[in-house]
A and B are shown apart, each in its own frame.
Chain A
């Protein structure tokens, strides 16, 4: 079950590599074969199963290209279920 999700805006990413370097779980990579419309090499969120939504990549992105989300439990929908 995924914990975190990183959405990368391909119009904003400039391939600086900070997210790759500072992700503690190697969730993001720059494969080198994907490019933005402006010609910058793109980062991809290629190991979502590792992401724990720490948010570090989102803090350090210089181009407002990353949004980090965490999946949290919504309210229980079944009656009688006790947590």
Chain B
């Protein structure tokens, strides 16, 4: 039977349609997971059609490069302080989508006080924490989520009990009344990519419901600092990180606590 219809090409995935075509976009180290998150944000914000009403406060680090490609307003600020800025931006502009994008060092080391305080106050903001097990931008120093035995430039013999133990942020804040949503995901395979997208969308919905602070921790690779190939770093997440930092939802309420 002759085919009298013609085929047309429809775009499925790749470069988000509404991203900013920056010449340096995506030019991170081979296999870096930050641009995967950048794509994810572009997709989510486009699906919610909310770019013009969104403000992101990135932390200090390679994650801040998202300002090159994600088509929204940004405020950059001192290391660790995004939750304070986001707190205030949301109080002043309650109808905007306000979120932070911080690394594990930004959020749990220097920024631990702003982070926990925003959780305690139950600010209606969303905090997205990229957990790649250390301080990536500065060359791979030990961070609050470095695994026991993991070697970094400031624990060259591997993390020992004398260096303390990793912080499990998603579990840590789940019992707090001011926290509405706390989840952990990863972007180390297609299924987890879609799960991360669902978690972040839910987090944004909790923000608009006024239920309290929403938090998504995303396990992520830094192949350069881990001294691994990109594919090895995916294995590290799958075999080592997920064992220490299980994926899932640790808190999910859709109403503000009494």
**CB <8 Å contact, A60 and B231:** no
Q: Which bucket holds chain B's interface residue count?
A: 35 or more
Given contacts A17-B229, A72-B8, contact A62 B13 (CB under 8 A): no
Chain B residues with Cβ below 8 Å from A67 are: 11, 13-15
One of B5, B6, B36, B231 near A17 (C-beta < 8 A): B231
> Which residue on chain A has the smallest CB distance to residue B3?
A1
Chain B residues with Cβ below 8 Å from A75 are: 5
Given contacts A16-B230, A40-B30, A62-B31, contact A74 B14 (CB under 8 A): no
A59 to B234, alpha carbons, bound, how many Å? 15
**CB <8 Å contact, A77 and B229:** no
**CB <8 Å contact, A71 and B7:** yes
A18 to B187, alpha carbons, bound, how many Å? 11
Chain B residues with Cβ below 8 Å from A17 are: 31, 229-231
Q: Which bucket holds chain A's interface residue count?
A: 35 or more
Write the nearest CB–CB distance from B24 to chain A, whole angstroms.
Answer: 11
Instruction: List A residues 48-82 near B (Cβ within 8 Å).
Output: 53-78, 81
Q: Does B26 have its Cβ within 8 Å of any Cβ on chain A?
A: yes
Show the binding face of B for A, using Cβ within 8 Å: 4-15, 19, 25-28, 30-36, 39, 69, 187, 189-190, 193-194, 223, 229-231, 234
Show the binding face of A for B, using Cβ within 8 Å: 1, 4-5, 12, 14-18, 21-22, 40, 53-78, 81
- Apart from A40-B30, A58-B14, A69-B11: 6 A-B pairs, beta carbons within 8 A: A16-B230, A58-B12, A59-B13, A63-B28, A71-B8, A74-B8
